[in-house]
Structure 1
Amino acid sequence: MSSNRRDDFLNQDDLLITVEVNPPKGIELEGKIKQLSKLSNRVAAVNVTDNPMANLAFNATIFAHHIQEELDLTAISHLTCRDKNLLGLQSDLLAANTLGVDNFLVLTGDDPKNGDHPDATGVFDLDSVGLVELITRLNEGFDAQGNSLTGRPKINPGVAVNPTADNLSVEIKRLNEKVEAGAKFIQTQPVYDVDSLFRFLDYLGEIEIPILVGILPLKNEGMADYFNKNVPGIKISKEILARMRGAGLEEGIRICQELVTQIKDDVDGIHIMPVGGIETANQIIAA
């Protein structure tokens, strides 16, 4: 493995940039790996989703391992509480650490009934706060029951937050619980309204871990309308809705470029969820 790999992606002076990718549904990894090889060298890490929206995909942690080995990029594996019980979560985290996958975005997880396997059982032995607490305990050398481990892993848990949640006080209370439990970084849900973002940051106050703001380009008018009407907590301004009338991904990318320009001096980083693929991410990064 190349010595250029950034094992501690959080320690950078420049704007932190992460990009999200979905693993394939199957075992053909080469296409996704080839796409990722074209990412801008300004990207600090790649997020790998865990059966996103409760839809089957290749294992996130193993795909993260492939990314790190084949591309010399730091990877952040998503890990939900949905698919594994308390025993399975612990053994997977310990195994991942031996493979060099030590960065995780910890999520509660989407309900299986909304995915492509609606008869699957959602486990949810823990929620996202409990999973961060579990990782902290593993890092201290103990399992969930307080029994000693052979060796101490080093696992960096990140967490999610919605800056435009309908009930901001509840959202911030829960975020603070995650930080107190041991979270090392924060990645937000998509943001389209700068004023709402800065209102959230003011309300949150000083926090000692980096916050990366979610950037997701709208690909068309229908997507903008759907997000605005059906996705709780996502607020899209009338101005942006008007700009997306009859427009496509190019306008969505332009809106994201403008957003990044407005916020980059006031935030720790951005987390890009690139509808349209890696080229979309690179265009936003080049803004």
Structure 2
Amino acid sequence: MKLTTLFDKGEFVITGEVGPIKGAIHRDKSIEPSCAIEALQLQQHVHAVNVTDNQSAVMRLGSLAASVRLKTNGIEPVYQLTCRDRNRLALQSDLLTAYSLGIDNVLLLTGDHIQLGDHKEAKPVFDLDSVQLIEMAKGLKRGYDISGNRIENYLDMAFGAVVNPNFDPIDLQVMKMKKKIDAGAQFFQTQAVYDVKMFEAFMNKAQQFNCPIQVGVVILKSPQMGRFMNKNVSGIHVPKDWIDEIGSVDKQDRKKKAAEMAGRFIEETKAMVQGVHIMPLGWTDIVPDILEHAHVN
């Protein structure tokens, strides 16, 4: 099932996100990896589940293997593919392999820098950037590789991309968004957003493209998490009132408060977008409560 089909029908598209395990999938198929268990918790509440690709440059099980495992469990995956670890040969090969294994949706990304992760001695690749990656994928859909050679049984996938509404100046991010659309992006998921007014300012500029956008919501678990993101995560700003609110309750009540806060934000922004992408960071059990607060499920 392509997400683009749902967008075309006018559905409010809800996606979640899981990270593959740091290790291999058990060969006993009766034992599911934790990412599949998390995805199963999300299954009844979302249309599809993103599978991250060595997120934050931390080595984990490959996104493709995890995506295929979800697919076999009846869960629609959004396969994430980054430029950081692969050259153009590997990127094309992985896209063709993913489609051959039944993957219909892919999110095409540049990838976090190696210095953020647990293998700082690794050599980053970045043979292509995200715009070039999308353009290359579009070529594979038309039956040609990046060098112009014909391919057999070319892929037919829905191509997603990422945009950052927090970026300053926002006009530069809007320009890059247009480049991604021109290259072949069919929908967008935003980076984490917490400021409604900032997001509204971004959407006032982005709506000119008439391309589906899902607002990205990372669950804020603690005031310490908010302060850490403000200090260390480029392109994300957690307002003081969010940090104060999650810190106003005892630790045992923070899941309930986090669900309320995230749900309120989605409710305030849902009229501006075509969907929401929820990144629960392990708190998958509160996603139903978030959606209930947001009145979208």
Partner of 1:142: 144
TM-score, normalising length: structure 2: 0.89
2:286 pairs with 272, 280, 284, which one? 280
> How much identity, in percent, do the aligned residues show?
35
Quote how far apart the aligned CAs of 1:169 are.
1.0
Partner of 1:62: 65
Segments of structure 2 that go 5 or more residues without pairing to the other structure are 27-31
Partner of 2:177: 175
Change (3 A) 1:12 1:103: same
Contact 1:215 1:256 in 2 (8 A): yes
2:114 pairs with 112, 115, 123, which one? 112
Distance 2:172 2:185 in 1: 18
Quote how far apart the aligned CAs of 1:185 are.
0.7
1:204 pairs with 200, 203, 206, which one? 206
Q: What is the SS of the residue equivalent to 2:209?
A: coil
Q: What is the SS of the residue equivalent to 1:282?
A: helix
Quote how far apart the aligned CAs of 1:114 are.
2.0
Q: What is the SS of the residue equivalent to 2:68?
A: helix
Change (3 A) 1:184 1:6: closer
Quote how far apart the aligned CAs of 1:221 are.
0.9
Contact 1:90 1:143 in 2 (8 A): yes
| AA aligned opposite 2:273 | V
Query: Which structure carries more helix by proportion?
Result: 2
1:19 pairs with 16, 20, 43, which one? 16
Contact 1:21 1:49 in 2 (8 A): yes
Partner of 1:166: 168
Distance 1:136 1:28 in 2: 31
1:251 pairs with 247, 252, 257, which one? 257
Quote how far apart the aligned CAs of 1:275 are.
2.7
Q: What is the SS of the residue equivalent to 1:206?
A: helix
For residues 70-104 of structure 1, what are the alpha-carbon distances to aligned partners after superposition, in whole Å with 9 as ceiling and x for unaligned? 1x121111100011111111111111111011311
For residues 22-42 of structure 1, what are the alpha-carbon distances to aligned partners after superposition, in whole Å with 9 as ceiling and x for unaligned? 011112361332332222524
Contact 1:78 1:105 in 2 (8 A): yes
Mean Cα deviation higher: 241-250 or 104-113? 241-250
Distance 1:156 1:92 in 2: 15
Mean Cα deviation higher: 147-156 or 28-37? 28-37
TM-score, normalising length: structure 1: 0.92
Quote how far apart the aligned CAs of 1:57 are.
0.9
Quote how far apart the aligned CAs of 1:6 are.
6.6
Change (3 A) 1:77 1:40: closer
Contact 2:203 2:272 in 1 (8 A): no
| AA aligned opposite 1:33 | A
Q: What is the SS of the residue equivalent to 1:19?
A: strand
